[in-house]
Amino acid sequence: MSRKYFGTDGVRGPYGGTLINEDFAWRLGAAAGRFAKERKSAAGTRIFIGRDTRASGVALEKALAGGLQSEGFTVVSLGIVPTPVVSLMTREGGAALGVVITASHNPARDNGVKFFDFNGIKLTDAEEERIEAYLPPAAGNGTVGYPLMEAPLARYLERTTSILPPHGLSGWKVVLDTANGAASVSSGRVLEALGASLVLVGTHPDGKNINEGVGSQHPEKMAEKVRATGARIGVAHDGDADRCVLCDETGEILDGDEILTVLALHALRRDKLVRRTLVVTVQSNLGVDAAISAAGGRVLRTQVGDRYVMDRMLAEGATLGGESSGHIICAEISSTGDGLVAALKIIQVMIETGRPLSELRRGLTRYPQSTNALRVCEKKPLDSLHRLNAEIKAVEEELGSAGRVLVRYSGTEPKLRLLVEGPNDAIVQSSMERLVAAAHAELDIVRS
């Protein structure tokens, strides 16, 4: 059985469409409740729900709560909180499940739902299949009132603030872009509590402007502010704050690969990288492998998705992993991607080494790479795209061991994602042009 509704990171789509609407949310809540009841080790009958700042989140939360209550669960709303807060509260608050209503980095027209088990870890593919199998044919009636937790951020703020010494950011100017999303309050409170002087971007959500020209998908505003104000670092989250993109003091942007490499190399030099292992996905640049291997560590790769990274980390006993998109998991602190934790851990390296981020990032020498994301009208099976597959094979043969090709559909958006790495920019770009042309020949591509 394959999943019909769940993608790389939960269920996601346009609000009011065939998938993300109140009726389906009620059914999904009921199915999740039935799944939770079959889990013999689940703790208690409470289920926590958090959401980001999208206007549609309020109605979807009520519908989900109704479905969960129909299966006998007590629903507690955490209100607007970052995704890692839901993970933490589920794990430490004795909940049977944690639910987040978010479409992450997607625009405000979209929304979605993702689940955490009682350990605060995202569900596996098999567990999501079980939820789909429990979906009732129709939505039931109504929602019983449910409480909003008082001070839902308190434990998270305490946990994250303790990463650095008291007043550890005194004298620091930090640009913070929270994408008009779930961290519009929390990240700033932590950084200010540590003594930072903040320059804020994307901190005025109105229900419609989440990720709109700001945040980790649009870090250029953060970088501009860093250059204009002389800040020491810039931090940009996505809509639910489980990822971050940074920029150094010169305004140059760092992605997840660079963040992971800085953290892993620093830990390796101090013999503190657990199992001397970093876990990344197939999307990460091959330069990460080269840098970590040269320092005496090893890199393991998974399919795209931070939950697959976490699964591999658990299996290997590793504590550091993530994605080039900026999902960074520091498992000694959080059991899911956490943009604020990642930023604080990078700042910790800066403090301990006395080196600016522009120097620390030099630990990664990237292989020449090109990426592309083509919006498609239909996700035709990749194995049916004969011209594209022939072009992929031809490019791979030409690159040999000096590069690689990765072609896949996004698990969260209607996009075909392409990646080419190779020995130089000219070869990489020409190879990408060939793949894009082949994709256009066989797929209905939405023109931007």
Task: Point out the residues that are catalytic.
Answer: 104
List phi, psi (to 5°) of 254.
-115, 135
Residue 80, CA distances (Å) to 35, 89, 181, 260, 290 in order: 25, 13, 9, 28, 40
To the nearest 10 degrees (0 to 180), the angle between helices 339-353 and 256-269 is: 50
CA dist 150 and 154 (Å) reads 9
In whole angstroms, give the CA distance from residue 34 to residue 131. 8
CA distance 123 to 307: 8
CB within 8 A of 154, min separation 6: which ones?
none
Does residue 151 come out as left (phi exceeding 0), alpha (psi in the -120 to 50 range) or beta?
left
CA distances to 65, 74, 147, 180, 434 from 77, in Å: 9, 10, 6, 20, 50
SS3 state of residue 314: helix
Sheet of 74-80, strands arranged across = 11-14, 110-116, 97-101, 46-51, 74-80
Question: What is the DSSP-derived secondary structure letter of residue 147?
Answer: P
